[in-house]
């Protein structure tokens, strides 16, 4: 059992249950005015708890079983990076996030997951000991607040993800590990399969993918992980928490290479009907922890829950205000809209963008920069205009 007294994450997955994760807090709260794009840090947990609490509630109502603490990029080195000045300590932010997640999880059948992610220190080539010490500071709060399980997410390099898993395993709590990579593997070319095997050997009971790529790309990548883990004779459960953006034109770095990132991505948003397809595909390949990351709003999670309602044995509370496959349109005043109250209409729809002068695909930036490169060395001081000038010039050639 989990500390909350509910059936734990591993017990649920071992029983074949579908566990639905929540959505992308960083992007959702940035659009609502509570997160700053650039640093993407989660001080809103302490600064505007009512906003974080409300978003948790909306995801719970939409069908999420997991309330993930809003602790993305809440490591001390990230909170202090490039001139970011906050009125709260990392410990205060992490504690507030745990309290909010637990409060809302207790309103339903939710579990609380404490999350850590990649660090500026790793990108700046700090030692294993130094990077693990950063994870440990966040972990101390998660242990104090007795979260139900732990997630190491959003890792571009499997080495750092291994370090995170090894640190989280010291608590004795269940550990999930998800990387933000696609079929081409991590930033040093380690294949998804090899990444998964290494993470399972490091101690992760659940492995998978989050962020950087669209749902179908992420499902494909998790399938590669699953095949490799099984071939190695190992056992694990599998998770996927992708973007809610179409990314067919992305390179190995994912959506952050797109010229629209982060302020022009809206034309790429998946519809709720796309989410039905994603949920079914994920389930069919054997993934049972199915959620979302950047771009996912509560209605997207509701679509996942509705698609898998038979497997879960219930519809989410939010379906009270949503007719399945557009059935609510039967009540519309206009007859041509009433005519859309059917599944085949929405499944067959090819949405127009309304932007006749825009391309359907972009040309991603491809700077080839990763850990160890001078441009990725991080600093506490604010980025100067002198540092920006060569970047502006380089951007003109890509």
For residue 82, which of 36, 127, 49, 23 has the smallest C-alpha distance?
36
Q: Which residue has tokens 């079983």?
A: 65
Sign of CA dihedral 279, 282, 287, 290: negative
Rounded Cα–Cα distance for residues 144 and 303 (Å): 35
Is the separation of the CB atoms in 66 and 20 below 8 Å? yes
358 labeled binding residue:
no
125 labeled binding residue:
no
Rounded Cα–Cα distance for residues 198 and 187 (Å): 15
Rounded Cα–Cα distance for residues 15 and 28 (Å): 32
Rounded Cα–Cα distance for residues 259 and 273 (Å): 26
- How many Cα atoms are found within 13 Å in the side-chain-facing hemisphere of 23? 29
Strand partners, 353: none
- How many Cα atoms are found within 13 Å in the side-chain-facing hemisphere of 32? 16
Phi-psi map region of 38: left, alpha, beta (phi>0 left; psi -120 to 50 alpha): left
Cα 279–Cα 13–Cα 222 angle in degrees, nearest 5? 50
Q: At what angle do helices 90-105 and 49-62 cross, to 10 degrees?
A: 40
Rounded Cα–Cα distance for residues 134 and 254 (Å): 26
Is the separation of the CB atoms in 245 and 270 below 8 Å? yes
Cα 99–Cα 314–Cα 348 angle in degrees, nearest 5? 105
Token readout for 255 is 């959506």
Residues placed in the known binding site for Zn(2+): 211, 293-294
Q: Which residues are annotated as a binding site?
A: 211, 293-294
């Amino acid at each position: 059992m989990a500390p909350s007294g509910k059936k734990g994450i591993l017990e649920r997955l071992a029983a074949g249950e579908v566990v639905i994760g929540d959505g992308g807090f960083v992007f959702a709260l940035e659009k609502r005015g509570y997160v700053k794009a650039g640093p993407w840090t989660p001080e809103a947990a302490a600064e505007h708890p009512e906003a974080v609490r409300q978003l948790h509630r909306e995801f719970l109502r939409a069908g999420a079983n997991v309330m993930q603490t809003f602790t993305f990029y809440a490591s001390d080195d990230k909170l202090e990076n490039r001139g970011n000045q906050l009125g709260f300590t990392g410990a205060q932010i992490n504690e507030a996030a745990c309290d909010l997640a637990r409060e809302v999880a207790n309103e339903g059948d939710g579990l609380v997951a404490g999350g850590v992610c990649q660090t500026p220190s790793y990108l700046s080539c700090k030692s294993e000991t130094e990077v693990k010490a950063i994870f440990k500071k966040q972990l101390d709060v998660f242990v104090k607040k007795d979260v139900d399980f732990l997630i190491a997410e959003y890792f571009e390099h499997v080495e750092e993800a291994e370090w995170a898993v090894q640190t989280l395993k010291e608590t004795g709590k269940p550990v999930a590990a998800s990387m933000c990579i696609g079929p081409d593997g991590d930033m040093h070319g380690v294949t998804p399969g090899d990444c998964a095997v290494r993470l399972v050997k490091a101690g992760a009971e659940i492995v998978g993918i989050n962020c950087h790529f669209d749902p179908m790309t992420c499902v494909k990548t998790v399938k590669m992980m699953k095949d490799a883990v099984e071939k190695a004779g190992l056992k694990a459960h599998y998770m996927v928490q992708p973007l809610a953006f179409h990314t067919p034109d992305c390179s190995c770095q994912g959506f952050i290479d797109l010229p629209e990132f982060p302020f022009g991505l809206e034309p790429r948003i998946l519809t709720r009907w796309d989410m039905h397809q994603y949920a079914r595909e994920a389930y069919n390949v054997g993934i049972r922890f199915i959620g979302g990351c950047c771009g996912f709003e509560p209605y997207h999670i509701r679509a996942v829950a509705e698609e898998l309602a038979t497997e879960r044995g219930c519809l989410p509370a939010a379906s009270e205000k949503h007719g399945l496959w557009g059935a609510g349109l039967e009540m519309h005043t206009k007859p041509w809209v009433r005519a859309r109250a059917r599944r085949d209409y929405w499944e067959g729809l090819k949405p127009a963008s309304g932007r006749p002068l825009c391309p359907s695909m972009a040309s991603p930036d491809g700077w080839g920069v990763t850990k160890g490169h001078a441009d990725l060395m991080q600093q506490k001081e604010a980025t100067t205009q002198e540092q920006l000038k060569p970047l502006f010039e380089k951007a003109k050639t890509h």
